[in-house]
């Protein structure tokens, strides 16, 4: 055995290199976070939009930034998702990044838009409860609208025309006012009012007829008549109209042709039905007079006068110089019998119908005739004696009577008649004259038997 030199005698402490080294930990570095999307990708410049970030390696995120500004708050939902609330920003695109201990992610784009949408008007502002009304919404910040609502109901469809205009189709609703709102990623607008209405109904017209020339003031009654945009007689718009209430409209009829036409009312809720007979207006031609008989009568009135012409149906008045006949009967479209009222002189007779006022025919009021004498005052019982009758108001004589017998006669003047005395028994006989003014007093004519009889 070889002696060992003292200088080579090592202990463990003297020879540490002879022992194993102490342990050192080692791990591979984790991959940094990545982002693939942000939803929604835009929001109000005032902040407060809740967004979802999707990516990888998001566990342990220490920061979420929108541009240089940290999110108001964020929650790491999983290694692939973070929910964050946007801070305030300025309009435009900013990069969104997530930072973990492994680094900072790639950016995804988020767009700050101006403050939330506003609405100033909806046109039309009312429509049918059945929906389907196309309306125009005007306001600001409407770009990127995600929802248009009428009350709680979404629009059937809508189109963003510009940042200041949206066209939408109303959903069905119930009668009354609902708020209309627009929602974008920047928020929900203020409401504007839209009124749901039932379709209008026409139940009656007064009057229900008028002249073909138009101009009749017609009261239309019904229901749901507010916000009327059109009143039509057939296919022709009313000359003018006024909405008096939800149940009444006053309209002026346009010109038309003879016959019946439906009167319809249109609102934003639709057009009234044209099926009801009570909603028809009848145009009438103006009446025409061709003849009057008799043409004269007593000042006291009471004469039955026959008027003939055309379009005389539905006559509402027969006027003698502006004075209404106390009674009349419309016998047909061409004939009316009327009772003459009291009057004097010549008076124009007219007929009034829904078609207007007719042309006039003259009617004369005549004073009763009087007789002052007969000359000669006597004659034979044989026929053929010529006599002259004197008096007043004799020019319209229609009959000369010798007792019950009628005489032939000739009108000479207002005060004179020439008559042929009819045959009759000997003796005194009363002579009278009849005119439209009545029957005269009588004068005496004496029949004498011829000599030798």
The last residue of a domain, from among 260, 284, 308: 284
**CA pair distance 17, 265, nearest whole angstrom:** 110
Full-model pTM: 0.57
Q: How far is CA 215 from the centre of its chain?
A: 17
- What is d(CA 314, CA 333) in angstroms, rounded to the nearest whole number? 8
293 and 237 in a single domain? The answer is: no
Q: How far is CA 170 from CA 69, 183, 296, in A?
A: 41, 16, 71
Domain that holds residue 352: 288-366
Mean local confidence (pLDDT), 231-252: 97
List helix spans (H) across 87-198: none
Residue 172: its pLDDT value, please? 95
Q: Judge whether 7 lies within some domain.
A: no
What does the pLDDT read at residue 115? 73
Say if 4 falls within a structural domain.
no
Within a domain: 203: no
Domain membership flag for residue 19: no
Last residue of a domain, one of 149, 166, 197: 197
Under DSSP, is residue 279 helix (H, G, I), strand (E, B) or coil? Answer: helix
- Separation CA 24–CA 15 (nearest Å): 21
Quick check: is 23 in a domain?
A: no
The verdict on 280 and 299 lying in the same domain is no
Considering the domain architecture, whether residues 390 and 422 belong to the same structural domain is answered as: yes
Average pLDDT over residues 85-104: 94
CA distance 128 to 124: 11
Q: Do 82 and 128 fall into the same domain?
A: no
pLDDT over 90 percentage in the chain: 82
| Domain count across the chain | 5
Separation of alpha carbons 417 and 380, rounded Å: 20
Q: Do 362 and 376 fall within a single domain?
A: no
Residue 306 lies in a domain: yes
pLDDT of residue 18 exceeding 80, the answer is no
Which residue among 50, 85, 113 closes a domain?
Answer: 113
Please choose, from the candidates 218, 211, 255, 207, the residue with its C-alpha nearest in 3D space to the C-alpha of residue 355: 211
- Tell me, yes or no, whether 277 and 294 share the same domain: no
Task: Summarize pLDDT for 172-214 with one digit per residue, the tens.
Answer: 999 999 999 999 988 899 999 999 989 899 999 999 999 999 9
Measured in whole angstroms, the distance separating CA 187 from the mean position of its chain's CA atoms is 39
User: Residue 406 pLDDT > 80, yes or no?
Assistant: yes
Domain of 223, CATH number, reads: 2.60.40.10
155: CB partners within 8 A, 6+ apart: 148, 149, 168, 169, 170, 171
Q: How many CA atoms lie within 13 A of 407 on its CB side?
A: 31
The confidence band for 13, taking pLDDT boundaries of 50, 70 and 90, is very low
Handedness of CA 211, 214, 217, 219 (dihedral sign): positive
- Among 35, 44, 91, 40, smallest CA distance to 65 is for 35
Distance CA 426, CA 380 (A): 8
Tell whether 123 and 141 lie within a shared domain.
yes
What is residue 5's predicted lDDT score, i.e. its pLDDT? Answer: 41
At 8, the pLDDT band (50, 70, 90 cuts) reads very low
Note whether 188 and 221 are same-domain residues: no
- Whether residue 12 lies inside any domain: the answer is no
State the DSSP code for 224: S
């Amino acid at each position: 055995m070889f002696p060992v030199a003292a200088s080579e005698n090592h202990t463990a402490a003297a020879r540490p290199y002879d022992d194993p080294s102490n342990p050192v930990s080692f791990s591979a570095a984790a991959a940094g976070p990545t982002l693939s999307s942000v939803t929604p990708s835009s929001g109000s410049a005032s902040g407060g939009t809740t967004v979802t970030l999707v990516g990888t390696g998001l566990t342990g995120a220490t920061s979420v930034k929108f541009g240089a500004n940290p999110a108001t708050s964020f929650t790491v939902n999983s290694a692939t998702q973070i929910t964050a609330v946007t801070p305030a920003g300025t309009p435009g695109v900013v990069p969104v990044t997530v930072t973990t201990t492994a680094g900072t992610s790639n950016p995804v784009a988020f767009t700050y838009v101006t403050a939330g949408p506003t609405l100033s008007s909806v046109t039309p502002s009312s429509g049918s409860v059945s929906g389907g009304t196309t309306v125009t919404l005007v306001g600001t910040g409407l770009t990127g609208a995600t929802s248009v609502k009428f009350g709680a109901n979404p629009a059937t469809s809508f189109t963003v025309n510009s940042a200041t205009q949206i066209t939408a189709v109303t959903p069905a609703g119930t009668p009354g006012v609902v708020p209309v709102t627009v929602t974008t990623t920047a928020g929900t607008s203020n409401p504007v009012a839209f009124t749901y209405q039932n379709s209008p109904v026409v139940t009656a017209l007064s009057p229900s007829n008028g002249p073909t020339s138009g101009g009749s003031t017609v009261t239309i009654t019904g229901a749901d008549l507010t916000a009327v945009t059109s009143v039509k007689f057939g296919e022709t718009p009313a000359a003018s109209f006024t909405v008096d209430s939800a149940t009444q409209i006053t309209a002026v009829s346009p010109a038309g042709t003879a016959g019946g036409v439906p009167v319809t009312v249109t609102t934003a809720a639709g057009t009234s039905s044209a099926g009801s007979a009570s909603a028809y207006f009848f145009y009438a031609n103006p009446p025409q007079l061709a003849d009057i008989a008799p043409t004269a009568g007593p000042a006291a009135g009471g004469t039955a006068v026959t008027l003939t012409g055309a379009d005389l149906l539905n006559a509402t008045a027969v006027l003698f110089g502006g004075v209404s006949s106390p009674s009349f009967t419309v016998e047909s479209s061409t004939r009316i019998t009327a009772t003459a009222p009291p009057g004097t002189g010549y008076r124009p007779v007219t007929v009034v119908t829904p078609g207007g006022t007719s042309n006039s025919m003259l009617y004369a009021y005549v004073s009763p005739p009087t007789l002052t004498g007969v000359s000669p005052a006597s004659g034979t019982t044989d026929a053929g004696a010529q006599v002259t009758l004197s008096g007043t108001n004799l020019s319209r004589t229609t009959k000369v009577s010798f007792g019950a017998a009628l005489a032939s006669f000739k009108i000479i003047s207002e005060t004179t008649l020439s008559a042929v005395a009819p045959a009759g028994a000997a003796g005194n006989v009363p002579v009278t004259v009849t005119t439209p003014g009545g029957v005269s007093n009588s004068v005496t004519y004496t029949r004498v038997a011829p000599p030798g009889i």
